[in-house]
Structure 1
Amino acid sequence: MSHLNRKVSNVDVLVLGGGAAGFAAALAARRNGCSVTLIESQNCIGGSRTATGVDTFYGFYTPGDSPRRIVGGIPWEVANRLVEVNGCFERPNTYGAGTGITYDVEKLKVIYESMLIEAGVTLLYHTYASVVEMEDGTIKGVAIANKGGLTTIYAKYYIDATGDGDIAARAGAPFELGSPEELQSLTTIFFMANVDVDKAKMTSHKALAKLMKEANQSGQYNLPREDGSWHATPNPGVIQTNMVRVTGVDATDPFALTMAEIEGRKQTQEYVRFLNNCVPGYENAFLVSTSQHIGVRETRRIRGAYTLTEEDVVQGAKFDDAIACCGAPVEDHYAGSGTRWAYVQGDGVYHIPFRSLVPQKVSNLLVAGRCLSATHGAQASARNSAQCMAMGQAVGTASALACKTNSNISELDIFQLKNLLLEQGVIL
């Protein structure tokens, strides 16, 4: 029997993209009674949290001297599972963005998979969505491509958790995409081992930036970003480093993305050479690995029923259709050598509204993650991992509610959805 064009028609919810948002979306939809298939282009669940090497969850806590946990539900369940396997620890952010939960990437991969498999979610790795079949503003099916060839999956509801809004764009939903010069920069995360961590900590963040500037001025190094950070991991002598900066890239352009991957690895070698030669504690350190794929902070932002703005973020806006809380500051990695920060005022918390996850012009599609309906500045806050998982839980639960009531997304009772989320431990 040929596997080409094989049709699967008995899926309630199809989740496209298995990053932090897609994971939570698939799990929530399944736990609420739907049959769910989750497809992912990489070989693991977690996206930027695993394959990209970003080994810290941010967004669980508000910044400042009196941090408050503002995210619960599935995201907090993940954090607790990491604690159970001695796979994480809490630490302050280098720039004052609040407490982060740094974890062992390999342990998180297994936890994500275990939770999905325990719930009965069908997983497909090494799989891309290629064509979206539309009819009168409704997605009828999505053709996927993998080692089995081309397969069309038919579902009642679809969740775009691709990060880039690929499915929403192919379905005809309107979106915003800035010029390459306007988009946030890309970063190749890298890990080093045999670092004398205690000795390395003696060089402050300010002193490290000064050393970078001096290295560039000497003419012996080419460090595009005279900033960046590193931190210890749960593994002795191993550190994670966020210094690489690749700018002017539209990561929805496969040719530009390919060149960005090449440039990111090239920069990594230069930063490793700098650390080895110029920073105490790195004298005998060596590069262990670079991220499975380059980290992308921003591409398409869909136009939803509501667009979250930077003013909403900074002013701590509250909404009746809130599905998640966020206290993370705007963290805009613009094309220059620095990063722009803007903090939430008032009580330090704003709401992410459900309407920002509902694309225009497509009746059975929801989005979750960094492609939400938000301005450039607002997205630079809402894209944190705890919020992406919270968005995923919200849209997964919403899809299940729509399945039970056989209704369009726009017809959902938002208060019924919020009550369901509260019952599942979500903090609103």
Structure 2
Amino acid sequence: MDMVRRSSYKELETDVLVIGGGSAGVTAAIAAAREGVNTLLVERYGFLGGTSTQVLDTFYGFFTPGSHPRKVIGGIPDEVITNLKRYDAMLIRPNTYGAGNGITYNPDILKIVWESLAMQAGVQILFHALAVDVETDQGRITSVFLATKSGFLRVRPRVVIDASGDADIAALAGVPYESAANGPVQALTTTFRLLNVDTQRALQISKNELHERMAQAIVEGGYNLPRKEGSIHITPLPGTMATNMTRVVNIDPTDIEQLSWAEIEGRRQALEYFRFLKERIPGYENAHLAGLSVQIGVRESRRIYGQYRLTREDVLAARKFDDAIAQCGAPIEEHHSGADTRWEYLPEGETYHIPYRCLIPLHCDGLLVAGRCLSADHDAHASVRSMGQCMAMGQAAGIAAAWAIHHHTTPSEVSIPSLQNRLRQIGAILD
């Protein structure tokens, strides 16, 4: 974009600009607005929630795995759950693979819950807007350019929170990162829901038996099932089951041509897994395909380099940090290019800390990241990317951004004790 055209754009100013209305971004926007700063939330779809409403129907990471689950996420995320309960739109269930209890919900109700909490906090929401460029001055973002149905908009923020999932803003601003260009990233998944399932009969089929029947169907021929495992679970809706089965591998989610192909392949696989369930698994004989995920689910794309980089060793050693803003007990869950998934667990009941420094990108003042684009290596990312942790990171980023504005400083200079005290005051669980 040339500067002549840029100068004619409609301009907006805000204290905090949040890019991406997923679990991390909405929570960040709510937290910042409640701290008394003007907050603009930009989302490319026409609803909030990101993966939580586009792809999945379960929050993971709220509880530690194991025989004695412990709740490790609190604050604004608790309000989300409370509002879902009000609509009788959630349930708690064991994770299929032992990754801790999951909170399964109705994604359409969640869209309204996210929206209501954001509006009540005073967040300004811009739907159908995509961040496409930035301007920087001496290492600080001065403008973010949005493509919209109304034309291009130029937003001048004091602090930016990149909750795009793909670290789009950080990458545009020159922040170093790792991506598919540096090594394999996790597989992508198109989810789907089934109606008219005889859930009583379907639930009699164990995980192991389901996988055995998959393997048998593949050997006998007639089914193309790349992932020889996967899960299907109950939902708050009677007779409705939701899946996490398909696997599209060797894709760079930041490459538009590869991502486009992945969308097509994911839907093709979804239809094949549906056919398998209907023909081979009791309880699904009269099932109907009720809906595909709005977009294919992306687990991993860009991971920035921040002031600290969370590592595999940190996760498995349950390491603690002085600048903790959240904790996580989720296992390393790597959906690699093979037919199975690699799981590695922390010691029973243990958690590790997520350092605030993982949200502060290198070489860019006035920018925070929140969600799955945080600073972490591949294996650590495979644990910390759960939506519970993304919400907790967003909560911390929003409060930190507001603190920086109130104190006329940058996010990297935020008082850690002040940030932690405020997080505890609103219900976050740091230890």
Provide TM-score, normalisation by structure 2: 0.97
Question: For residues 80-91 of structure 1, what are the structure 2 equivalents within 5 Å?
Answer: 80-91=82-93
* Alignment partner, residue 24 of structure 1: 27
* Per-residue CA distance 1:269-298 (angstroms, 9 max, x = gap): 111111111110010101011000000000
Say if 2:146 is the partner of 1:152. Answer: no
- 1:280 lines up with 2:282 in the alignment: yes
Q: Which amino acid aligns with 1:143?
A: F
Structure 1 residues 9 and 125, CA, compared in 2 at 3 Å: closer, same or farther? closer
Contact 2:225–2:269 (Cα < 8 Å) also in 1:
yes
Q: Residues of 2 paired with 1:278 and 1:180: CA distance?
A: 40
Say whether the 8 Å CA contact 1:144–1:150 is kept in structure 2: yes
Structure 1 unaligned regions, length at least 5: none
How do 1:67-86 and structure 2 match up within 5 A? 67-86=69-88
Q: Deviations over 1:304-349 (max 9, x none)?
A: 0000001101110000000001111111101101111111126511
1:368 aligns with 2:370: yes
| Mapped pair 1:42 → 2:45 | yes
Which consecutive aligned stretches of 4+ in structure 1 deviate over 4 angstroms post-superposition? 2-5
Whole-angstrom CA distance in 2 between matches of 1:137 and 1:58: 36
SS at structure 2 position matched to 1:50 = helix
Are the counterparts in 1 of residues 224 and 272 from structure 2 also a CA contact under 8 Å? yes
SS at match of 1:306: coil
How much has 1:214 moved relative to structure 2?
Answer: 1.0
Corresponding position of 1:327: 329
Any idea what the Cα deviations from partners look like across 1:73-125, whole Å, max 9, x if unmatched?
A: 11111111111211101000000001111001111000000001111111111
Q: Which residue of 1 aligns with 2:163?
A: 161
- In the alignment, the residues of structure 2 paired with residue 214 and residue 347 of structure 1 have an alpha-carbon distance, to the nearest angstrom, of 36
Amino acid at match of 1:35: N
Question: Quick one: which of 125, 128, 139 aligns to 1:126?
Answer: 128
Q: Structure 1: which amino acid aligns with 2:27?
A: A
Identical counterparts, % of pairs: 50
* TM alignment of 1:260-339, pairs within 5 A: 260-339=262-341
8 Å contact kept, 2:159–2:367: yes
Deviations 1:150-184 (A, max 9, x none): 01000100000000000000000010113487110
> Which range is displaced more, 15-24 or 120-129?
120-129
Asked if 2 retains the 8 angstrom alpha-carbon contact of 1:21 and 1:392, the reply is yes
Between the aligned partners of 1:99 and 1:5, the Cα distance in structure 2 is 52
1:226-248: CA deviation from partner (whole Å, max 9, x where unpaired): 10000111111111011000000
- AA at the equivalent of 2:62: F
Flag the 1:4–1:203 CA change in 2: closer, same or farther, 3 A: farther
Partner of 1:418: 420
Judged with a 3 Å threshold, the aligned counterparts in structure 2 of structure 1 residues 335 and 328 are, in CA distance, closer, same or farther, namely: same
SS in 2 for 1:116: helix
Matched with 2:142 is: 140
Which AA in structure 1 matches 2:387?
A: S
1:5 deviates by: 4.3
Offset at residue 9 of structure 1 (A): 4.0
Cα gap change, 1:225 to 1:347, in 2 (>3 Å): closer
1:370 is paired with a residue whose SS is coil
Q: 1:22 is aligned with what amino acid?
A: G
CA gap of 1:202–1:309, structure 2 versus 1, over 3 A, is: same
C-alpha distance in structure 1 between counterparts of 2:390 and 2:117, whole Å? 17
How far apart, CA to CA, are the structure 2 residues paired with 1:19 and 1:56? 14
Deviates more, 1:213-222 or 1:187-196: 213-222
**For structure 1, which segment, 14-23 or 78-87, has the greater mean C-alpha deviation from structure 2 after superposition?**
78-87
- Matched letter for residue 8 of structure 1: E
Report the more deviating stretch, 338-347 or 209-218.
Answer: 338-347
The Cα offsets for residues 118-157 of structure 1, whole Å up to 9 and x where unpaired, read as 1111111111001111111000010000101101000100
Distance 1:136 1:393 in 2: 28
Question: What is the SS of the residue equivalent to 1:10?
Answer: strand
Conserved 8 A contact 1:21-1:369? yes
Q: Gapped runs of 5+ residues in structure 2?
A: none
SS at match of 2:115: helix
Partner residue, 2:104: 102
Cα distance, 1:6 vs structure 2:
3.5
Matched positions, count: 426
CA apart distance, 1:413 = 1.0
Shift of 1:259: 0.2
Contact 1:4/1:148 (8 A) holds in 2? no
Q: Say which SS state the counterpart of residue 185 (structure 1) adopts.
A: coil
Question: What is the TM-score with the length of structure 1 in the denominator?
Answer: 0.98
In the alignment, what sits opposite 2:358?
Answer: 356
